[in-house]
A and B are shown apart, each in its own frame.
Chain A
Amino acid sequence: MSPASDGRHTPAPDLNTSGTVGTLFRSADLAGAMEVLLGVWDEASLEALDRVLARTRTTGDEVAVAVLEDPAGGASVADLERRVRERLADHDATVDVRTPSGHPGSALVALAEREGFDRIALGGARPSPLGKVQLGPVVEFVVVNATVTVTLLR
């Protein structure tokens, strides 16, 4: 079964993905500036923004943020976009903010591939009450379907 919840306009999971999961600050292959696309769709995923911005100050990476629909029906895209822009202003960062519509996972993957980003970065892995790592449907979809490298920030 597809990790996508509605299955209407999403491609089937491609198990031959070249995407990998790593930890942003540990990978040895991160030398050199890259174009990074950060996906934001809820509170937990928004928390990754500060870390990505902090990292760009040392690497010179170019970051863009894609604000996506929350599959859990939480905050609206407009509300999230406003909060992303507030944080960017706090960091005094000039960052491209995009709002691709549609299924969040496929919209993010399509944008990254269409515009040639080197890497997709994702937060949003929340611990369960017991401390288990929980990857939501957006993370699962992107990891399985992206053909660019995916970095999961935990």
Chain B
Amino acid sequence: MTVPDAPADSFEPPPRRFSDREDRDIAIERYDGDREALVEMYDAFDPADRAQGIPPTGERGLREWLDAITAPGCLNVVARHDDGVVGHAVLVPDEADGSELAIFVLAAYQSAGIGTAILESLLGLGSEAGVERVWLTVERWNHAAIALYETVGFRPRGEPGFELEMAVDLGASDGQDGL
């Protein structure tokens, strides 16, 4: 079993503004409750980029899912470009003391540095909120996603099945000089 051996670098919570690799002006912000902007993003989402049954297909399933993952206790970060949401990541508390992470970026905005920026901001927000351990599952063949998660410090954990589980320690209470 592989356990992250060192806490991830400290990350800055949102907001953040930068130019992506396509020179687009991208703003990373904490989700402000603008549900329709999120629904619009997921309406434009390529079904081929769905993972393990999420986002749910169909308006009703999508809205129920968004209700659940934006409930109090969950942390949400969005990437905006030209006033539209182009990426979204979320931390949902599990039954123990960790949080599960998921991230979705519209196809036209992938491979431009946006995913990394969203993850860094979300982990910063999580760390600030006292989340100590973040985990996710990813399909083993999804090498692009696995590489992205590794960039921000996730490491494989446990026995790989159809999905690979990865985790990162945010080191919120380990006494390190995490600003």
Chain A interface (Cβ < 8 Å from any Cβ of B): 1, 3, 5, 127-137, 140
Contact = CB atoms under 8 A, between A and B. Distances in A.
Contacts of B54: 130-132
A135 B161 CA distance: 9
Nearest to A143: B162
A133 B53 contact: yes
For B52, B69, B100, B161, which residue has the most chain A Cβ atoms within 10 angstroms? Answer: B161
A127 B162 CA distance: 15
Contacts of B53: 127, 131-133
Contacts of A134: 52, 137, 163
Contact of A137 (B52, B100, B161): B161
Nearest to B158: A5
A6 B75 CA distance: 37
Task: State the main secondary structure of chain A at its contact with B.
Answer: loop
Contacts of B101: 130
Interface in B48-90: 51-54, 56, 65, 68-69, 90
Chain B interface residue number, banded: 20 to 34
B137 A3 contact: no
A129 B135 CA distance: 11
18 contacts: A1-B160, A3-B161, A128-B137, A129-B93, A129-B94, A129-B99, A130-B92, A131-B54, A131-B65, A132-B51, A132-B53, A132-B54, A132-B102, A133-B52, A134-B137, A135-B161, A135-B163, A136-B161
Interface of B: 51-54, 56, 65, 68-69, 90, 92-95, 99-102, 137, 159-163
A1 B160 CA distance: 7
B167 to A, nearest CB: 13
Q: What are the 4 A-B residue pairs with the smallest beta carbon separation, nearest first?
A: A132-B52, A133-B53, A129-B92, A129-B100
A135 B54 CA distance: 14
Nearest to A144: B162
B127 to A, nearest CB: 19
A136 B161 CA distance: 8
A136 B163 CA distance: 10
